[in-house]
Amino acid sequence: MRRMRDSGIEWQPMLTDAPTIANLARRLAAVAALSLVATATLPAQPVPTPIPVPPPPMGWSSWNSFSNTIDSQIAMAQAKAMAANGMQKAGYRYINIDEGWWLGARDAQGNILVDPKAWPAIAAGEQPGDMANIVRYIHSLGLKAGIYTDAGRDGCSTVGPDLGPSYPNTGSEGHYEQDFLQFAKWGFDYVKVDWCGGYKENLDPAVQYAEIARAIARAESMTGHRLYYSICNWGKESPFTWAPNVGGVEADIWRTGGDIVAPIVANTKNAGRKAELKEVLREFDQAQHPQAQHTGYYNDPDMMVVGMPGLSEEQNRVHMSLWAISGGPLLVGADLTRLSPADLATLTNPDAIQIDQDQAGLQSILSSQIAPGLEVWSKPLSTSGTRAVVLLNRTSAPAAISVRWSDLALRDDAPVSVRDVWAAKYLGAFQASYSATVPAADAVLLLVHGAETPATTYVPALSEQHDFAFQNVHSRFPVARLQIQYANPGNTPRFAELRVNGQDATKIAFPPTGNENALGTIVIEAVMDGRDGKNRFSFSSPNGPAPAIRSITVQ
Ligand code: GLA
């Protein structure tokens, strides 16, 4: 990626081999250099390095297919399946134990007590009722383990038990320090924190989830063990306005809506439930907050239902296309021991996974709406000139949907190469636009590669120790793409709060760049609200060391 600014490499749009994102990168790495137009003379600076940000998590979660029947045997079988069926190889890692693992009991010191029959010893020398047993087993397969609790006193099993009786006190309120330390000591790598108790008690999620983030950070520093943070308050109180970097967290995800489906558990009264595409689309729509998804912070549209009863193979591909372009966490809710070859092919498609996991960490944007229900979604990828595109037909009749390169900030005076992800086929190079007939209620997922349209580089109008401001920032797009050039000489990310005009602030992470002369770039998407193209961007870091922001490049 350092070659982004090399000069003298000719752009060759006609690719003969099937392009992957990686080989597109090799061939077309020089385009960014051609597209930068400086509005101010910049002092000679080192070439910035694009800094990769933490990708969204990939794994499995127990809730959708096992409800509160989850136990050690089920978790072991799912882990084994993930290791054997190609999912681990494709990048899936987490085996996440959701509600039902704990029935609310604590000892006199407040330590969580679990049922020793549900969570027995697995290997010689282990004690029954110790959650470290299942973690060791999951880790022994090269996978990671996730656990679940609630931010309030009671968990969801009290509010609306799905299968089985209601268990009160399955939340962590009053025990944040103790519980998150316990999860880290057991060896868990991931924790999902639900909101049933918090909601019932009318707590403020921004306050509770910040407190929990700080408890997690203390547990991490006491154990040296990292716990990834998954916030699950179903979009209440607009988490996209407070969840990025909440409580100082370096990376996290937050749910933006309810559940796609209630659990479908084989051989129970719930076995007849069905997932529906309209619910998948609803959760996708609710998750679109691109201004908040950056630098390792992700909107979470819910666990996936691919492979569960309800969706057709085509619909599963629509679902995977939408989660990939959204950069959503890929957490599979199906029973991994029963996935069909088609389900597995959908879940492990390498292009779809690479789109999801792209190291710029951005979200999709609605690039154009051709007619009601006919939409073009696009996501800028880290390789210059590359976009993922979804042509989405929400209607009940087939329709032609076309994507114009100029809408994607790609030059339309040169051909753009197009790859159909699900057909696994390079379709050719196209001038100005590409059009496909999309069947009813279906989608086409494309990877396109061309040349970036010119961008403008701004230097700060105000540059102080903790504050950097840019004025008269212009983009012809309602959602602009901003490359931020900065230096962070520290060993840990630095953070700055960005305000665009008077909008809600978002906290951005600036990972280390090595030293104060080494520049890095991160990319964000910002909603421009205009005033004749005169937007004001201000970055401030009142509570800690600031990244040194040198310039922003806006498209
Ligand atoms: C909520 C969450 C689900 C799941 C259940 C468990 O509904 O949104 O993902 O964790 O609770 O009860």
User: Looking at residue 536, what is its pLDDT?
Assistant: 95
Verify whether ligand 1 is closer than 6 Å to residue 232 (CB atom): yes
Cα–Cα distance list, 152 to 76, 172, 173, 197, 469 (Å): 29, 6, 5, 4, 40
d(CA 186, CA 184): 5
Length of the chain equals 555
Coil, helix or strand at residue 81: helix
Q: Which of 14-18, 119-123, 315-319 has the lowest mean pLDDT?
A: 14-18
What letter represents residue 41's amino acid?
Answer: T
Mutate to test the pocket of ligand 1, among 62, 63, 255, 283 (most ligand atoms within 8 A of CB): 63
Q: What is the pLDDT of residues 350-392, one digit of tens each?
A: 999 999 999 999 999 999 999 999 999 999 999 999 999 999 9
pLDDT at 161: 80
Asked if 407 contacts 376 with a C-beta cutoff of 8 angstroms, the reply is: yes
Residues paired with residue 220 on neighbouring β-strands, in sequence order: none
Q: What DSSP string describes 328-354?
A: --EEE-S-GGG--HHHHHHHT-HHHHH
Which of the four pLDDT bands, split at 50, 70 and 90, describes residue 247? Answer: very high
Worst-scoring range by mean pLDDT, 107-116, 185-194, 458-467? Answer: 458-467
Give burial (CB, 10 Å; 0-12/13-18/19+) of 532.
Answer: exposed
Helix (H) or strand (E) holding 299: strand 297-300
Query: Rounded to whole angstroms, how far apart are CA atoms 286 and 24?
Result: 32
- Which one from 71, 98, 189, 194 is the annotated catalytic residue? 194
Query: Looking at the predicted structure, is the pLDDT value of residue 30 above 80?
Result: no
Atom 8 (ligand 1) nearest CA? 259
Q: Record the tokens describing residue 186, joined without a space.
A: 């057991």
pLDDT for the residue numbered 28: 35
Express each pLDDT in 214-227 by its tens digit: 999 999 999 999 99
Of 47-51, 148-152, 232-236, 313-317, give the lowest mean pLDDT range: 47-51
CB 294 within 8 A of CB 321: no
Tokens of 546: 């600031």
Instruction: Judge whether 471 and 552 are in contact, CB under 8 Å.
Output: no
Q: Give the model's pLDDT for residue 367.
A: 97
Residue percentage of the chain with pLDDT more than 90: 86
Range name among 69-78, 157-166, 316-325, 326-335 with the lowest pLDDT average = 157-166
> For position 342, what pLDDT does the model report?
98
Question: Is there a contact between 301 and 279 (Cβ–Cβ < 8 Å)?
Answer: no
Q: Give start and end residues of each alpha helix (H) in 306-409.
A: 313-326, 341-347, 350-356
Q: What is the pLDDT averaged over residues 57-67?
A: 98
159 lines ligand 1 (CB under 6 A): no
212: Cβ contacts below 8 Å, ≥ 6 apart:
151, 172, 176, 180, 193, 229, 247
In DSSP notation, 93-108 reads -EEE--TTS--S-B-T
Q: What confidence score (pLDDT) does residue 480 get?
A: 96
What pLDDT does residue 31 have? Answer: 32
For 288-313, write each residue's pLDDT tens digit. 999 999 999 999 999 999 999 999 99
Report pLDDT for 524: 98
Compute, in angstroms, the gap from residue 146 CA to the centroid of ligand 1.
14
How many angstroms separate the CA atoms of 277 and 304, rounded?
Answer: 11
pLDDT of residue 8: 24
In this prediction, residue 465 has a pLDDT band, given cuts at 50, 70 and 90, of confident
Q: Which residues contact 223 (CB under 8 A, 6 or more apart)?
A: 181, 184, 185
Residues 523 and 554: beta-carbon distance below 8 Å: no
Q: Sheet harboring 494-500: ordered strands across?
A: 462-463, 467-473, 535-540, 494-500, 506-510
Active-site entry in 130, 259, 467, 504 = 259
Q: Looking at residues 248-254, what average pLDDT do you find?
A: 97
Confidence of residue 235 (pLDDT cuts 50, 70, 90): very high
Among 460, 456, 462, 436, smallest CA distance to 448 is for 436
Distance 492 CA to ligand 1 centre (A): 33
Of the candidates 399, 372, 402, the one whose C-alpha atom is nearest the C-alpha of residue 389 is: 402
* pLDDT: which is higher, 163 or 366: 366
Q: Give the pLDDT of residue 144.
A: 99
Question: pTM for the full model?
Answer: 0.92
Contacts of 226 (CB under 8 A, 6+ apart): 189, 220
Q: What is the pLDDT of residue 17?
A: 34
Rounded CA-CA distance 548/88 in Å is 39
pLDDT (mean) for 166-170: 93
